[in-house]
């Protein structure tokens, strides 16, 4: 399938990026592959530099302080709450009068501190996606963030899931898989999410004293989801041994340490002493080095290479990725010691990545951002964008299981009717300044079928035309 350069640029923007913005296709057309590679080479690629965002430690402590204050207020009784009623003014007042008064009108205290932090991080992430030239690096961030997902719905995670993505995923997105793996598994967000923060070696000092003990959750998911892949080379014994290895990988308790509370700590008192055997290798060392050594081996394992290669190919190329491509990516992974930038380059270089038919349905997040980019929207308020993610089944940083959001198209087809509602809303909410005919040219141009063109240009109104553009097969598939 020989595509002309503009069509290649459009394909690249949809398949590898976050969808075209005005001028993107034209500016990439001379060298689509080169443009993708250039984005990888950009200084600070993948980073978010926003001094307002807190480190995960600071965020965790802020949330803890807030929760303490809430608790104190509750204990002090309801009197304090009553006094806090905000006086209605201006616009808020008028809005209230449009709606029937709530039966038990209580002042809305506004979002909690954890929620405020979460929303601030979400805004930064959405802005990064809207601001990206192509969005290839952002897509890689999203891919790895979903591979190593945590959930804001788990206790203690909401306030730090955004910082987690910045500190471990973005920081390593073009670095080495092994470094990302180590950073992930020692981050408080992951330690809270998969319960390792409280996992105690049965023979450790703490284990001997307390009734609580080992929790295998994180160890299992590292093997099954993060590295080797399910039903590969490990057994239940490996899971248990590995769980013992990473006992003591925990988080500084807030009450103990107001300065470092919420940060990673290796706690030797919780660590199972003695050697452990994981997948045929004996790890005699004690302490945190034992876990590091296991992770280093896992990061280099051929099963990990194959697992990562097939997930990458499935995400960027096809639900059933070409075996030859998976093979090549896996080899590249092993040959470069898991260099993720080299993996990204290998994807761009793969002929399969340009030849595969555009059959994958964009995931909700990709589609929502692509729609905003197509009309040049830069929402100050992210509420509607977050709601769209929720309604379409991909709430930000809130997967329902450690496996993350599914990548295959079929399950997302179920949300097609909801997409239409969102398309309709977005066209009205964000498309005020957009001419659908221009948006069509800028967002699809060479990819648009005659039928799609006609449907858009013959729409009865601009909002309808934009909704049809967002819903066009060429806009939803990549």
Q: Of 43 and 380, which CB lies nearer to other proteins in the complex structure?
A: 380
CB of 413 to other proteins, least distance (A): 4
Q: Total residues at the site for other proteins (CB under 8 A)?
A: 55
Query: Binding residue for other proteins (CB under 8 A) from 4, 31, 41, 131?
Result: 131
Phi and psi of 251, rounded to 5°? Answer: -130, 140
406 forms part of the interface with other proteins (CB under 8 A): no
What's 320's DSSP letter? S
Stretch that binds other proteins, among 156-164, 290-298, 389-397, 427-435 (CB under 8 A): 427-435
Instruction: Find the binder of other proteins among 442, 468, 475, 478 (CB under 8 A).
Output: 468
Choose which of 179, 263, 407, 435 interacts with other proteins (CB under 8 A). Answer: 435
Question: Applying CB under 8 A, which of residues 75, 87, 280, 460 lies at the interface with other proteins?
Answer: 460
CA distance 148 to 218: 11
Q: Quick one: 302 or 473, whose CB is closer to other proteins?
A: 473
Rounded to an integer, what distance in angstroms lies between the CA atom of residue 363 and that of residue 405? 9
Looking at 6, 176, 260, 437, which residue binds other proteins (CB under 8 A)?
A: 437
Is 408 near other proteins (CB under 8 A)? no
DSSP characters over 131-158: H-SS-HHHHHHHHHHHHT---TTSTTTT
Q: How far is CA 377 from CA 126, 367, 381, 386, 390, in A?
A: 11, 14, 11, 15, 20
| 91 binding other proteins? (CB under 8 A) | yes
Minimum distance, C-beta of residue 384 to other proteins, in the bound complex (Å): 8
Q: Which is nearer to other proteins, 403 or 429 (CB)?
A: 429
* Tokens found for residue 103: 């039966």
173 forms part of the interface with other proteins (CB under 8 A): no
Stretch that binds other proteins, among 30-38, 87-95, 182-190, 309-317 (CB under 8 A): 87-95
CA angle 402, 67, 398 (to 5 degrees): 20
Are 7 and 355 spatial neighbours (Cβ–Cβ below 8 Å)? no
Tokens read off for 229: 């892949």
CB atoms under 10 Å from CB of 407, counted, come to 17
Label residue 397 left, alpha or beta by phi (over 0 means left) and psi (-120 to 50 means alpha). Answer: left
The single residue among 93, 237, 289, 355 that binds other proteins, judged by CB under 8 A, is 93
295 in contact with other proteins (CB under 8 A): no
The CA distance from 278 to 243, in Å, is 10
Q: Kindly state the smallest distance separating residue 176's Cβ from other proteins, in Å.
A: 26
Pick one of 153, 420, 441, 446: the residue that binds other proteins (CB under 8 A): 420
Interface residue with other proteins among 220, 221, 431, 443 (CB under 8 A) is 431
Q: Quick check: 190 and 230 in contact, CB under 8 A?
A: no
Structure tokens at 468: 């049809």
- DSSP code string of 349-403: H-THHHHS-S-PBPPHHHHHHHHHHHTT---S--HHHHHHHHHTT--TT--SSTT
477: contact with other proteins by CB under 8 A:
yes
Of residues 370 and 471, the one with the C-beta less far from other proteins: 471
Residues whose CB falls within 8 Å of the CB of residue 395, separated by 6 or more in sequence, listed in order? 386, 389
Instruction: Tell me if 79 contacts other proteins by CB under 8 A.
Output: no
Q: Are 187 and 156 in contact (CB under 8 A)?
A: no
Q: Of 396 and 471, which CB lies nearer to other proteins in the complex structure?
A: 471
- Among residues 133, 455, 475, 478, which is the contact residue for other proteins, using CB under 8 A? 455
Task: Indicate if the alpha-carbon torsion angle 56, 59, 63, 64 is positive or negative.
Answer: positive
* Residue 269 in contact with other proteins, rule: CB under 8 A: no
Q: Does 469 bind other proteins (CB under 8 A)?
A: no
- How far is it, in rounded angstroms, from Cα 42 to Cα 311? 25
Between strands 264-266 and 276-278, the pairing is unpaired
Binding mask 33-72 for other proteins (x = CB under 8 A): ---------------xxx-x--------------------
Structure token pair of residue 303: 């099963």
Q: Does 259 bind other proteins (CB under 8 A)?
A: no
Q: Does residue number 237 form part of the binding site for other proteins (CB under 8 A)?
A: no
Q: CB-based contacts of 141: which residues, under 8 Å, 6+ apart?
A: 46, 165, 169, 170, 173
Residue 109 C-beta: closest distance to other proteins, Å:
18
Applying CB under 8 A, among 95, 281, 296, 390 the residue interacting with other proteins is 95
Question: What minimum distance in Å lies between the beta carbon of 45 and other proteins?
Answer: 13
Among 127, 153, 327, 352, contact with other proteins (rule: CB under 8 A): 127
Task: Report which of 318, 414, 316, 423 is spatially closest to residue 374, judged by C-alpha positions.
Answer: 423
Rounded to a whole number of angstroms, the minimum distance from the CB of residue 420 to other proteins is 5
* Contacting residue, 380, 402, 404, 440, with other proteins by CB under 8 A: 380
Distance CA 187, CA 180 (A): 10
Note whether 8 and 24 are within 8 A (CB).
no
Q: Which residues bind other proteins (CB under 8 A)?
A: 48-50, 52, 90-91, 93-95, 98-99, 127-128, 130-131, 378-381, 383-384, 413-414, 416-417, 420-421, 423-425, 428-429, 431-432, 435-437, 449, 451-452, 455, 459-465, 467-468, 471-473, 476-477
């Amino acid at each position: 399938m020989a595509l002309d350069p503009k069509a290649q640029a459009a394909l690249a923007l949809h398949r590898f990026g976050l969808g075209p913005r005005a001028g993107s296709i034209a500016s990439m057309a001379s060298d689509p592959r080169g443009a993708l590679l250039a984005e990888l080479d950009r200084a600070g690629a993948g980073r978010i530099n926003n001094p307002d965002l807190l480190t995960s430690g600071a965020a965790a402590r802020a949330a803890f302080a807030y929760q303490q204050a809430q608790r104190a207020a509750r204990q002090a009784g309801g009197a304090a709450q009553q006094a806090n009623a905000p006086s209605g003014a201006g616009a808020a007042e008028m809005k209230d009068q449009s709606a029937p008064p709530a039966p038990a009108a209580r002042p809305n205290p506004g979002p909690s501190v954890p929620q405020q932090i979460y929303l601030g991080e979400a805004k930064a992430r959405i802005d990064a996606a809207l601001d990206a030239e192509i969005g290839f690096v952002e897509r890689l961030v999203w891919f790895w963030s979903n591979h190593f997902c945590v959930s804001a719905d788990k206790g203690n995670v909401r306030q730090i899931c955004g910082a987690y993505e910045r500190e471990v995923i973005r920081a390593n997105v073009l670095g080495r898989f092994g470094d990302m793996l180590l950073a992930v598994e020692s981050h408080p967000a992951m330690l809270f999410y998969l319960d390792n923060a409280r996992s105690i070696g049965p023979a450790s000092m703490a284990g001997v004293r307390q009734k609580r003990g080992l929790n295998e959750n994180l160890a299992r998911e590292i093997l099954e989801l993060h590295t080797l892949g399910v039903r590969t080379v490990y057994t239940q014994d490996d899971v248990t041994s590995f769980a013992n290895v990473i006992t003591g990988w925990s988080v500084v308790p807030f009450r103990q340490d107001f300065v470092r509370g919420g940060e990673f700590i290796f706690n030797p008192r919780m660590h199972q002493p003695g050697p452990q055997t994981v997948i045929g290798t004996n790890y005699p060392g004690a302490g945190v080095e034992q876990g590091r050594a296991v992770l280093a081996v896992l990061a280099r394992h051929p099963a990990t290479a194959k697992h990562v290669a097939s997930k990458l190919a499935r995400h960027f190329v096809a639900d059933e990725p070409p075996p030859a491509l998976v093979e090549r990516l896996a080899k590249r992974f092993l040959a470069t010691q898991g260099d993720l930038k080299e993996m990204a380059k290998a994807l761009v270089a793969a002929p399969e990545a340009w030849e595969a038919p555009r059959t994958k349905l964009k995931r909700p997040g990709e589609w929502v951002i692509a729609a905003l980019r197509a009309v040049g929207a830069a929402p100050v308020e992210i509420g509607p964008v977050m709601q769209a993610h929720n309604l379409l089944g991909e709430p930000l940083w809130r997967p329902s299981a450690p496996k993350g959001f599914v990548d295959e198209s079929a399950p997302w087809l179920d949300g097609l009717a909801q997409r239409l509602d969102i398309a309709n809303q977005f066209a009205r909410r964000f498309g005020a300044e957009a001419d659908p005919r221009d948006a069509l040219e800028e967002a699809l141009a060479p990819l648009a079928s005659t039928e799609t063109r006609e449907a858009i240009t013959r729409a009865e109104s601009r909002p309808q035309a934009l909704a049809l553009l967002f819903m066009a097969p060429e806009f939803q598939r990549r």
